[in-house]
């Protein structure tokens, strides 16, 4: 314990050690609020940062410290787990992780392979960087045993920061970056949201939740390397559930400067085991994104996002509404209600679930 205490002091005061050590510290800046996690077991205000570290080093439960600065006053948090990089940082908190292995960012050293097992979206021999997108993560050994979708961080190399996304990491659809999900049988999430929410993302980022990943994330992912967009839409057709799919090659979302309008090369047929959906995106090609507070549609007298109570690349106010209110199985057909979730279908069925994914081609 004396050795660990010494290393903490050395690193926090910047004195060069005169012996080798196996423990290192790394600082990450994030807006992660340590009071919101169960792993913070001790909090004290009014001490120095080195004192906080020294106290941690003397406590076997302590794996990391978090610091909050309010003027000259430091609040010190002792955590029983290590901190993951968070996104949307405002630099309010600093986190210092203590490592006992050479794997970075929560990675676990595996004695049998002498390699690291990474988590949370980190990849590489030492978990030294985040994956570019979910497809890259799924192509590594780190996530091959995953059986379901989960929250990960990605960092496309063209982006200034990391993003939180849901990746499908299962045998059926390994490595799909989940663009958005809205379904009648997941807990309700309000999609009547302003521009800033559609820009940054919202909802319940989980395997079972409804969420929108964020247009900024989509811009960076789709401009980083070619992506195929897959749309999965569930209809109740004559009392039977039918899952229909449609795919778009080289799907690209532009930046906010261009209103996030999108392009793709061509529609591609679905896989052999899927029912084909109708093309629901060509109708919106070239249109800017609209929300109730940013009206970019082609209707000069009406606000289509407000009429549809959602956000989309609306052109007219009487068209389809893929982020609208998902319809329960009892409502089989699309009605004149513009807030209904809808997608083109030969028999005008209403849509009960819409899922969209990106897959690196």
State the residues that interact with Ca ion by CB under 5 A. 295, 297, 299
In the complex, what is the shortest distance from the CB of residue 317 to Ca ion, in angstroms, rounded to a whole number? Answer: 8
Q: Are residues 134 and 142 in contact, defined by beta-carbon separation less than 8 angstroms?
A: no
Nearer to Ca ion, 96 or 312 (CB): 312
Place of tokens 């000069």: 300
And the tokens for 59?
């406590």
Nearer to Ca ion, 137 or 324 (CB): 324
Q: Would you give the distance in Å from CA 204 to the centre of its chain? A: 10
Nearer to Ca ion, 243 or 307 (CB): 307
Nearer to Ca ion, 81 or 319 (CB): 319
In the complex, what is the shortest distance from the CB of residue 307 to Ca ion, in angstroms, rounded to a whole number? Answer: 9
Question: Over the range 58-76, which residues count as b (16 or more CB within 10 Å of their CB) and which as e?
Answer: eeeebbbbbbbeeeeebbb
User: Percent helix, strand and coil across the chain, each rounded to 5?
Assistant: 15, 30, 50
Specify burial of residue 246 (Cβ count, 10 A radius: 0-12, 13-18, 19+): buried
In the complex, what is the shortest distance from the CB of residue 296 to Ca ion, in angstroms, rounded to a whole number? Answer: 8
The alpha carbon torsion through 262, 199, 244, 246 (nearest 10 deg) reads 20
CA-nearest of 106, 97, 40, 108 to 63 is 97
Nearer to Ca ion, 156 or 338 (CB): 338
């Amino acid at each position: 314990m004396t050795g660990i205490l010494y290393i903490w002091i050395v690193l926090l005061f910047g004195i060069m050690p005169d012996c080798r050590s196996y423990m290192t510290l790394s600082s990450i800046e994030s807006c992660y609020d340590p009071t919101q996690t169960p792993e913070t077991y001790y909090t004290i205000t009014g001490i120095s940062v080195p004192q906080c570290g020294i106290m941690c080093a003397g406590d076997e439960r302590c794996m990391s410290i978090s610091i909050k600065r309010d003027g000259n006053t430091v609040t010190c948090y002792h955590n029983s787990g290590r901190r993951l990089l968070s996104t949307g940082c405002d630099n309010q908190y600093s986190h210092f992780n203590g490592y006992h292995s050479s794997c970075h960012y929560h990675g676990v050293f595996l004695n049998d392979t002498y390699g690291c097992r990474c988590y949370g979206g980190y990849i590489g021999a030492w978990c030294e960087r985040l994956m570019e997108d979910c497809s890259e993560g799924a192509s590594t050994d780190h996530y091959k045993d995953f059986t379901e979708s989960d929250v990960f961080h990605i960092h496309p190399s063209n982006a200034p920061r990391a993003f939180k996304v849901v990746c499908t990491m299962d045998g059926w659809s390994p490595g799909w970056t989940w663009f958005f999900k809205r379904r009648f049988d997941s807990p309700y999430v309000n999609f009547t949201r302003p521009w800033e929410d559609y820009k940054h993302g919202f909802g319940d980022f989980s395997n079972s939740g409804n969420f929108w990943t964020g247009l900024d994330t989509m811009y960076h992912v789709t401009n980083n390397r070619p992506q195929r967009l897959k749309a999965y839409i569930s209809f109740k057709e004559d009392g039977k559930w039918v899952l229909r799919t449609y795919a778009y090659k080289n799907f690209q979302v532009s930046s906010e400067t261009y209103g996030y309008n999108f392009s793709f090369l061509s529609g591609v047929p679905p896989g052999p085991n899927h029912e084909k959906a109708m093309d629901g995106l060509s109708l919106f090609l070239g249109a800017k994104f609209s929300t109730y507070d940013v009206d970019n549609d082609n209707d000069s007298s009406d606000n289509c996002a407000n009429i549809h109570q959602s956000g989309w690349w609306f052109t007219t106010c009487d068209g389809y509404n893929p982020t609208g209110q998902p319809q329960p199985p009892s409502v089989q057909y699309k009605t004149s209600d513009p807030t209904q979730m809808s997608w083109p279908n030969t028999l005008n069925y209403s849509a009960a679930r819409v899922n969209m994914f990106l897959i690196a081609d």
